[in-house]
A and B are shown apart, each in its own frame.
Chain A
Amino acid sequence: MTALTSSTPARTERQYHVSWADAGPFLALVALLVIGFLVNPDFLSATNLGNVVTRSAYVAIIAVGATFVISSGGLDLSVGSMVAFIAGITIMFMNMMAPSLGLWAIPAGMAMAVAAGLLCGLANGLIVTVGRIEPFIATLGTMGIFRALITYMTNGGTIPIDRSLREAYRPVYFGTLAGIPVPILISAVVASIGAFVLYKTKYGRKCAAVGANEDVARYSGISVIKTRTIAFVIQGVCVAVAAICYVPRLGAATPTTGVLWELQVITAVVIGGTALRGGKGHIWGTVAGAVILELIANLMVLSDFVSEYLVAAVQGVIIIIAMLVQRFSK
């Protein structure tokens, strides 16, 4: 309901009205940076921040897709397993194509990844919408399926990428363009497209409407099935893009790839200000959320205060405090 009322007066948007809900995650981000600097000045070094933001790219890219799914009233628990599955397929395909296509096997593999992501997302979407199964249960099922498939494909071990492709593919994670790491650029592009679609297109409005109130949306002539299915497809494509950036980092897919990423993704979306029950999504907030999560983990290692046994507990406390601050600052 809030989503509908807040999105109707178009004039306020043109005045660049900034609400607390929008600014919250960015304030939390700034606060973390300040705390980090006080704890250890190395925290703000270009290398460290570059590393942290680069590795938050996967979660950020996937979370952009998740913002669509969640704001349309769905939930996707399968994204972590899907990354592993798509990374596995991509590597196997690239290795298969390497002898005939040479380095062209890399773009071919990327296209294969996107196609696989699209199909995986479509499968999730159709099970949820046409099959009328709760998204939590449907994607819990596909989560198990994708995880089992990658385990099967690897025999429990690893699928490494062909040596001839390794060096050529490395820059997609480790390379820089105009001094900015490539994964950061990719996630910025993905987030920009996501923001455009969610805020500026008819589909974006439909997403928020369906998530805010399914019945009202249906009476307004919006196809709930179509809107939600497309959200899952967008999620699948985002996962594929993340997998494309993931493969060159370690050059392999294993059964432990992407374990528990789904929880990080959902946390990033919620820290970013999107309500878990659906409604209006906040793409840039989501990206900030992903960076915040990675910064917290980084801060735990760089500080000497926390015993290695308690790291997870402190991370949990920080996330809850961040959410409480947002809640009460409204």
Chain B
Amino acid sequence: MFSRKWVAAAAAGALLLAGQALAADKKVVAVSIPAADHGWTAGIVYHAQAAAKEINAAFPDVEVVVKTSPSAADQVSALEDLSASRKLDALVILPYTSEELTQPVKAIKDMGTFITVVDRGLTDASIQDLYLAGDNIAVGTNTAKFMIDKLGGKGDLVVLRGIPTVIDDERIKGFEDTIKGTGLKVLDIQYAHWNSDEAFKLMQDYLAKYPHIDAVWANDDDMLLGVLEAVKQSGRTDIKLALGGNGMKDIVKKVIDGDAMTPVETPYPPSMIKTAIYMTVANLIGQAPVRGTVKLDAPLITQANAKEYYFPDSPF
């Protein structure tokens, strides 16, 4: 009995070792991202996994490993786990917070790993080999430009902002700076925490408070869903535009369908994680130089180009 068990154990061990040896020939790309806790991060997870699947199928000697973490502390542990068992050739990370993740990422960098940082920067920019992000200021700017154009340079607006963070501040700043000096006037601006229910309530209150509103800007699509429901309920016809931002599939679908109230959308697309993973692998495999900073623009999504930003299978 005992001897048989030992043989089995030895066989299993040998298999494991063989597996290790095989895996060692592969170039390992670890992807560390936040767990899906709302629409946008759900999109990040979806696109990261899609990229991993595509690349693993296309390049047999590359292995992309995706690891999601529900908090900054968990992400630090995840980095330790990922790097403890094997050498990472590259790390693609969307850090939860800049401060807490900077040192752990530096530790991995010191082992000779190529570091790609996505969306949120680390406090020490010298750690990253590649930095890729969207442009939150452009989200505000491009939305504002469209509104100015569409409303003929004047009108009364209400704005719903998200959670007090840099992302929210930048979007609002881009918007406010652009409409400065035009006839567009922001009647009111309040936080709705990127939450549909809160946005629904806030929009009801805006509608009760202001007898005339020309346009609404919710700086995120989750909020826009609540806004549209409140406008629909009120039966008001003075609202000409209700715009969002981020590139949620439901809203992009509206753009494709030529919706009158929401004819355009500005992306801050979660698919940027896919761009980052592909670029990192290009550097690893194709010897294509990618070091530097890439800033994805937030071009207006219109009926003409909406297909490019439409992912019907994504949860976001």
Q: Which residues of A contact B (CB under 8 A)?
A: 40, 42-43, 45, 47-48, 51, 55, 151, 154-158, 160, 174, 249-252, 254-257, 259, 297-298, 301-302, 308-309, 311
Closest partner residue, chain B, to A152 (CB atom): B36
The answer to the question of B175 belonging to the interface, with a C-beta cut-off of 8 Å to chain A, is no
Known: A45-B208, A308-B191. A250 touches B36 (CB 8 A): no
Surface stretch bound by A, among B8-16, B18-26, B41-49, B111-119: B41-49
Would A311 and B190 count as touching, CB distance under 8 A? yes
Q: Do residues A255 and B37 form an inter-chain contact, with CB atoms below 8 A?
A: yes
Contact of A301 among B164, B196, B202 (CB under 8 A): B202
User: In the complex, are the beta carbons of B315 and A156 less than 8 A apart?
Assistant: yes
Q: Report A-chain residues with C-beta under 8 Å of the C-beta of B35.
A: 156
In the complex, A249→B201 CA distance in Å?
11
Task: A148 to B202: give the CA distance in the assembly, Å.
Answer: 27
| Known interface pairs A157-B42, A157-B316; A254-B204 also in contact (CB < 8 Å) | no
Interface segment out of the listed B82-90, B222-230, B259-267: B222-230
Chain B residue total in the interface (Cβ 8 A): 38
**CB proximity to A under 8 Å, residues B42-93:** 42-43, 45-46
Q: Which residues of A contact B200 (CB under 8 A)?
A: 55, 249-250
Contact B197 A158, beta carbon cutoff 8 Å: no
| A183 CA to B283 CA, complexed, in Å | 58
A residues near B316, Cβ cutoff 8 Å = 156-157
> What residues of B have a CB within 8 angstroms of the CB of A252 in the complex?
196, 225
Q: In the complex, what's the smallest C-beta–C-beta distance from B139 to chain A, in angstroms?
A: 19
Whether, in the assembled complex, B217 has its beta carbon less than 8 Å from a beta carbon of chain A, the answer is: no
Interface contact A156-B208, CB-CB below 8 Å = no
With A55-B204, A250-B197, A311-B190 as contacts: A256 and B209 at CB distance below 8 Å: no
Cross-chain contact A174 with B164 (CB below 8 angstroms): no
Q: How far is the CB of B263 from chain A (nearest CB, A)?
A: 21
Contact in complex: A302, B205 (CB < 8 Å): yes
- A-contact bits for B296-316, CB 8 A (1 contact / 0 none): 000000000000000000111
Q: Of all chain A residues, which has the CB nearest B232?
A: A174
Contact between chains at A157 and B36 (CB < 8 Å) = yes
**A78 CB to closest chain B CB, in angstroms?**
18
Interchain Cβ contacts under 8 Å between A and B, 10 examples: A42-B208, A48-B205, A51-B208, A156-B35, A157-B43, A157-B314, A158-B39, A256-B194, A298-B205, A301-B206
Q: Chain A's nearest CB lies how many Å from the CB of B172?
A: 10
A156 and B45 form a contact (CB under 8 A): yes
Beta-carbon contact of B190 and A301 below 8 Å: yes
Interface pair B195/A256, CB less than 8 Å apart: yes
Please, which residue of chain B has its CB at the minimum distance from the CB of A157?
B315
What are the 5 closest A-B residue pairs judged by CB atoms, nearest first?
A156-B36, A157-B315, A156-B42, A301-B205, A48-B208
